[in-house]
A and B are shown apart, each in its own frame.
Chain A
Amino acid sequence: MKKNSIIKMVDIAKVYDGGEFHTQALKDIDLDVESGDFLAITGRSGSGKSTLMHIIGLLDTPSSGKYILNGTDVSKLDEDEQALQRNKEIGFVFQQFNLLPKLSALDNVILPSIYAGTASKERTEKADMLLTMLGLADHINKRPNQMSGGQQQRVAIARALMNDPELILADEPTGNLDTASGDDVMKTLKQLNKEGKTIVLITHEHDIALQARKILHLEDGRLIEK
């Protein structure tokens, strides 16, 4: 039985067009990610990995091509509908963590559910549960600058899980971490994949990529299967 695609891209291209420069960051991208997959995308610096992830995550729009996310043609959605899709369907994990410095770990984790309109008691319980599950029970009320990088990244993972999205997008999640913390994060991602989440991981480290089920390689904006 064939699983249904969560990401389906046909002939996606992205051109950055400034006054003096013209960069073809992505071209001829055909991508099909099945629900429950664990995909790693590798490539040299500047090969277009982040650009691709931003397009997958609806943070950026492609210059041309067709993108169907979870059965909806997202190129036809307006800004607010895209925001809704990001909120419900996608969890982001960034290299720089991107936690709000003035909020506690708990409040950072709660953020996506505020925009989803979840009731206050329910979301606090959920955030608490997620942080505990990720081994951060003692750090719930700490601010990001009171935590280690590994802890911050686990807070970010908890935040990505807050609205129960199908898809987790992680751009160099281990890039700012030492090996031990990086392994921790990878273990967590693998566990989440086992529980059914679809994961797209971007990394330039080969041994990290090897932990995924499937690896795609980007070279000068083109996808190459390995």
Chain B
Amino acid sequence: MNTRELITLSFNAIWGNKMRSFLTTLGITIGVFAIIVLVSIGSGLQAYISSQISSLGPNIMDVIPGNNLMSAFGPGTQNKFTIPLAQKLSDRLAPIAQVAPLAEVLTNVKYKNVVDKNVYAIGSTYNFPKAVVYGKTIMGRWFSQGQEQSGSKVAVIGYTVYTKFFSNKNPIGEKIFVGNEKYTVVGVAEKNGASLGVDHDNVVYIPIEAVHSQFGVDRLMEIVVNTNSENNVPIVKKQINAILSKDLNPDEYSIQTGDSLSKTLSNITGMLSLALGGIAAISLLVGGIGVANIMLVSVTERTKEIGLRKALGAKRKDILSQFLLESVMLSMTGGIVGILLGMIASIIIAMILVSSVTFWSVALAFCFSVAVGIIFGMAPAIRASKLSPIDALRYE
């Protein structure tokens, strides 16, 4: 019996029992779907995090309020980071490191008749472009120390704000409203991208004093310190500790370097991926048991057919490969459908969250589903091939 005949035979058996085949493959489909989606989310998260870390850069440190990374997301210790504290850090660390404080507030921006009510106004200093990786301007210039000290209402707009309000026009020198105050646009910041559904370019950068006086924000989100060279990171870290420990308790601030950050995060995502993989594996196992079950039923149901085929000259391996191929085809079909659905789902998820389909997860899922077919189809197929022709023929 050649391969083409075997395939036709198995296909006919599957097709002849559409509902049952569908339900069997569904188990595999769900398992494979889970693998693809969960792995995509896991690796998307990992990619997102490493991109965030690389945007931090090897010679850049984040000094954040609270004692660890998590407190930046939830209620931790009380935030003791003030503008004067950042100023002090900036003065003491110059010239070896550049310091930029960051404070933000959600507000509305208006230009002519167009209003956007969901723009972050980020307060920082003239030092921002020197301290922050993405702090370059693609049009105009960043506001100067002079403008900042004289209390000028000047703004550098993010790329999204630029395209939304000005499309192709030159925005430099135009007046926009940030909150209730009129600002002059002096520059357009380079694209920073979007992550976790947040557009980092739908922002306006204004002097930090303005955030304080206009919006009443006096606490900082973080202080960015750029040492210009990776070699200086340890010294500067020591100096920051020396300066801050005079005013703050050790649990009221922490210093994140690219290194420490990636360690913490890869621990978290590693655990997460493991847990997700475990869930996916269990569902695939359940799918596999479903295949085994159906194949056993199929062998029992077709005992008479097996007997007849043997009587007509089918050898053991003919029967074995017939049933094995049938279970592999069932699982493989389930696998392919699962992969397609998983890829579609991952792409949709990528639009709102992070996720990225990886080649290896697709390959793994495919191999897994074929393996499930072989492993769980083996026992029923062997059982079928061992039936004696006459016992099988007499079976009712």
Q: What is A's interface to B at a CB cutoff of 8 Å?
A: 54, 57, 59-60, 79-80, 83-84, 86-88, 92, 98, 100, 102, 111-112, 114-117, 159, 163
Q: A79-B316, A100-B305, A102-B12 are in contact. Are A114 and B311 (CB under 8 A)?
A: no
Known pairs A117-B1, A163-B313; list 11 more (Cβ under 8 Å).
Answer: A57-B311, A60-B390, A83-B310, A83-B313, A84-B315, A86-B389, A92-B311, A92-B312, A98-B308, A114-B1, A117-B2
> Which residues of the other chain, A, contact B312 by a CB distance below 8 angstroms?
86-87, 92, 111-112, 115, 159
Q: A59-B393, A60-B390, A98-B393 are in contact. Are A115 and B305 (CB under 8 A)?
A: no
Interchain Cβ contacts under 8 Å between A and B, 17 examples: A59-B311, A59-B390, A59-B393, A60-B390, A79-B315, A83-B310, A83-B316, A84-B313, A84-B315, A87-B312, A92-B311, A92-B312, A98-B304, A111-B309, A114-B1, A115-B314, A116-B313
Interface of B is mostly: helix
Closest approach, in angstroms, between the C-beta of A26 and any C-beta of chain B? 14
Task: Judge if B318 is at the interface, Cβ distance under 8 Å.
Answer: yes
CA distance A116 to B318 in the complex (A): 11
Task: Judge if B16 is at the interface, Cβ distance under 8 Å.
Answer: yes
CA distance A98 to B316 in the complex (A): 20
Interface footprint category on B = 20 to 34
Which of B315, B316, B388 has the most chain A CB atoms inside 10 A of its CB? B315
CA distance A205 to B315 in the complex (A): 35
Closest approach, in angstroms, between the C-beta of B21 and any C-beta of chain A? 14
> Which residues of the other chain, B, contact A54 by a CB distance below 8 angstroms?
390
Out of A88, A98, A100, A102, name the residue touching B313 (CB < 8 Å). Answer: A88
| Nearest A residue to B304, CB-CB | A98
| Nearest B residue to A92, CB-CB | B311
CB-based contact B1/A83 at 8 Å: no
Q: A80-B315, A87-B313, A102-B16 are in contact. Are A115 and B1 (CB under 8 A)?
A: yes
> Which residues of the other chain, B, contact A159 by a CB distance below 8 angstroms?
312
> Which residues of the other chain, B, contact A86 by a CB distance below 8 angstroms?
311-313, 389
CA distance A117 to B311 in the complex (A): 16
CB-based contact B5/A114 at 8 Å: yes
Chain B, range 315-338, C-beta contacts under 8 Å to A: 315-318
CA distance A116 to B5 in the complex (A): 12
